[in-house]
């Protein structure tokens, strides 16, 4: 409770307008990291550690105690998340000891809940999607009526909803409960009606705010909307796709400036912009996870930024980028270019592992990298970048990370990469670097490298590429 009180009474809250005065609006001055995001990273890390596999008998009392300890810790962290999401008490609530009923999903969609946390909440609280609260709303009503906040300056990070955040929220709810688009609220208004009510006043985006998704889910809701009162909406509905494709960025129609023509290319342009905030890139990736182009270019942008930034800025990038990159890999397992660029980005992000509750294991990064290697054994670029990513993660994370790599068949994947690409100096060198980092740690729980399989591979690499590989090969041969 002391933590919750400290957050809710943070000095930065005092400078926020009354309507926005919520815990979620108070980000760190240095990097914009917010309590909900930090707590969810902690929760996933603690839960992951509670499932850790130990060598030997895992029914030993000390192993069971370890698991119980971290499960309790994860449970307590989740209680903090629920407390921070709990709505502030009204005057009537303060006069009684009873807490007004509220739904976790209802509340989460009203705040800038981190995308990965929001997805987890929606998936684990499916009953809330159909639940009508005391105000007569389901979560989709709140999401549709949300007004994206805009940043007044590049320095103003804490009061900013990224451009495609509302689209992500609406799409998440519609994916789990598309029938929600046809449910009226207490006043008889459909979600699309609520969304378009704000359109002319706030220049809501046709795609970015989820209006298009709501329309496609239940076009009959248009019976409640007077298009003459919403010329920009009428323009969006009749918009010629060929004309839209000629745009070079998110621009408005001159005669109907209320809705921006943010077609596919706008997200593509956004993730490539060198001036846009990292939160814009990662949120666009979450909101367009089905779009391979956005995912690939988003990973490229993250990787290029890491090459130019110092340690402090790299950590700021990693806070949101790790989850977005791993999600890109999961959403497009068969796209080799996405797997390659994502592995390259994770190589740069590896230095943040263990800092501010970031975990390359709990996030699914290690499993995703090895999965990419197994799915694309024949692709030279995927194998090279994946091996480099494993080497970077193990170098930062030590024996624990090496053990996890081995537990998901990472060592076998590396040997397979070396065997499959014997003529590629890049793959040979990357694979050898990964093996070096793995075998450097005597306290890691690793399988012994099979000499009959490994020795010929090392000798071949040394013979084919003596200049870059000889030293590593000799070292590894001595460890067999």
Query: Which of 81-90, 141-150, 423-432, 437-446 is predicted most confidently?
Result: 423-432
Residue 429 pLDDT more than 90?
A: yes
- Give the pLDDT of residue 2: 63
- Give the pLDDT of residue 418: 98
Split at pLDDT 50, 70, 90, the class of 199 is low
The domain made up of 289-479 has a fold known as 1.25.10
Average pLDDT of the residues of the chain: 86
Tokens at residue 44, please?
Answer: 């996933």
- Give the pLDDT of residue 477: 96
With contact defined as beta carbons under 8 Å apart, do 428 and 464 qualify? Answer: yes
Secondary structure (3-state) at 401: helix
327 Cβ neighbours under 8 A, 6+ residues apart:
116, 285, 286, 289
Q: What is the mean pLDDT of residues 38-50?
A: 96
d(CA 328, CA 345): 11
| Per-position b or e across 444-454, b if 16+ CB within 10 A of its CB | bbbeebeeeeb
Q: HSE on the CB side for 121, CA within 13 Å?
A: 28
Residue 137 pLDDT more than 60?
A: yes
Q: What is the mean pLDDT of residues 64-90?
A: 92
Q: What is the mean pLDDT of residues 167-176?
A: 96
Tell me the angle at which helices 410-420 and 425-439 cross, rounded to the nearest 10 degrees.
150
pTM: 0.88
Residue 294 pLDDT more than 50?
A: yes
- Give the pLDDT of residue 55: 78
Domain ranges across the chain? 1-91, 105-262, 289-479
Secondary structure (3-state) at 260: strand
Split at pLDDT 50, 70, 90, the class of 337 is very high
CA-wise closest residue to 235 among 267, 258, 264? 258
- Give the pLDDT of residue 264: 64
- Give the pLDDT of residue 9: 57
With contact defined as beta carbons under 8 Å apart, do 33 and 27 qualify? Answer: yes
Percentage above 90 pLDDT, the chain: 66
With contact defined as beta carbons under 8 Å apart, do 144 and 195 qualify? Answer: yes
* Numbers of helices and strands, H then E, in the chain: 25, 0
108 Cβ neighbours under 8 A, 6+ residues apart:
85, 117, 118, 121, 122, 139
356-405: per-residue pLDDT in tens? 999 999 999 999 999 999 999 999 999 999 999 999 999 999 999 999 99
Task: Identify the weakest region by mean pLDDT among 79-93, 134-148, 314-328, 338-352.
Answer: 79-93
CA-wise closest residue to 362 among 335, 315, 322? 322
Map tokens 């926020």 to a residue.
16
Split at pLDDT 50, 70, 90, the class of 53 is confident
Q: Which CATH number fits domain 105-262: 1.25.40.20, 3.40.140.10, 1.10.8.420, 1.25.40.10?
A: 1.25.40.20
* Higher local confidence (pLDDT), 449 or 393: 393
Task: Identify the weakest region by mean pLDDT among 53-62, 67-76, 148-157, 194-203.
Answer: 148-157
d(CA 26, CA 122): 23
* Higher local confidence (pLDDT), 102 or 1: 102
Residue 252: phi, psi to the nearest 5? -95, 155
Beta-carbon count within 10 A of 425 CB = 15
250-262: per-residue pLDDT in tens? 444 444 444 445 4
209-253: per-residue pLDDT in tens? 788 899 999 999 999 988 887 777 777 776 533 344 444 444 444
3-state SS, 7-28, equals HHCCHHHHHCCHHHCCHHHCCC
d(CA 141, CA 334): 36
């Amino acid at each position: 409770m002391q933590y919750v009180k400290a957050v809710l009474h943070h000095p930065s809250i005092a400078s926020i307008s009354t309507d926005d005065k919520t815990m979620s609006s108070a980000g760190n001055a240095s990097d914009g990291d917010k309590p909900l995001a930090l707590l969810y990273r902690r929760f996933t890390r603690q839960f992951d550690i509670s499932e850790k596999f130990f060598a030997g008998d895992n029914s030993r009392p000390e192993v069971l105690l370890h698991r119980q300890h971290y499960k309790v810790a994860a449970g307590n962290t989740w209680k903090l998340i629920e407390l921070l999401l709990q709505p502030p008490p009204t005057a009537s609530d303060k006069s009684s000891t009873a807490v007004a009923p509220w739904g976790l999903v209802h509340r989460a969609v009203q705040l800038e809940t981190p995308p990965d946390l929001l997805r987890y909440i929606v998936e684990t609280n499916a009953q809330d999607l159909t639940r009508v609260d005391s105000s007569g709303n389901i979560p989709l009503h709140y999401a549709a009526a949300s007004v994206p906040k805009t940043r007044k300056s590049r320095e103003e990070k804490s009061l900013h909803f990224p451009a495609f955040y509302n689209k992500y929220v609406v799409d998440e709810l519609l994916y789990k409960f598309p029938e929600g688009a046809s449910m009226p609220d207490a006043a008889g208004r459909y979600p699309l009606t609520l969304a378009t009510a704000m359109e002319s006043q706030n220049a809501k985006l046709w795609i970015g705010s989820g209006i298009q998704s709501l329309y496609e889910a239940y076009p009959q809701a248009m019976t409640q909307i007077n298009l003459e009162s919403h010329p920009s909406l009428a323009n969006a509905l009749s918009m010629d796709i060929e004309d839209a494709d000629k745009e070079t960025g998110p621009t408005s129609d001159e005669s109907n400036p209320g809705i921006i023509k943010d077609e596919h290319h706008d997200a593509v342009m956004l993730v490539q912009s060198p001036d846009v905030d990292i939160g814009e890139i990662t949120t666009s990736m979450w909101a367009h996870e089905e779009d391979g182009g956005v995912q690939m270019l988003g990973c490229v942008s993250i990787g290029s930024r890491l090459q130019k930034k110092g340690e402090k800025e790299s950590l700021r990038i990693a806070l949101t980028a790790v989850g977005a990159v791993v999600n890109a890999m999961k959403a497009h397992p068969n796209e080799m270019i996405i797997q390659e660029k994502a592995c390259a980005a994770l190589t740069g992000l590896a230095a943040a592992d263990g800092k501010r509750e970031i975990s390359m294991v709990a996030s699914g990064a290690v499993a995703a990298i090895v999965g990419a290697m197994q799915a694309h054994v024949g692709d030279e670029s995927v194998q090279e970048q994946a091996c480099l990513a494993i080497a970077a993660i193990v170098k930062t994370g030590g024996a624990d990370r090496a053990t996890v790599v081995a537990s998901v068949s990472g060592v076998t994947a590396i040997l397979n990469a070396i065997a499959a690409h014997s003529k590629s100096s890049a793959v040979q060198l990357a694979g050898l670097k990964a093996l070096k980092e793995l075998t450097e740690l005597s306290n890691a729980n690793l399988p012994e490298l099979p000499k009959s399989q490994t020795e010929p591979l090392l000798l071949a690499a040394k013979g084919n590429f003596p200049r870059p590989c000889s030293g590593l090969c000799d070292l590894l041969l001595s460890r067999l």
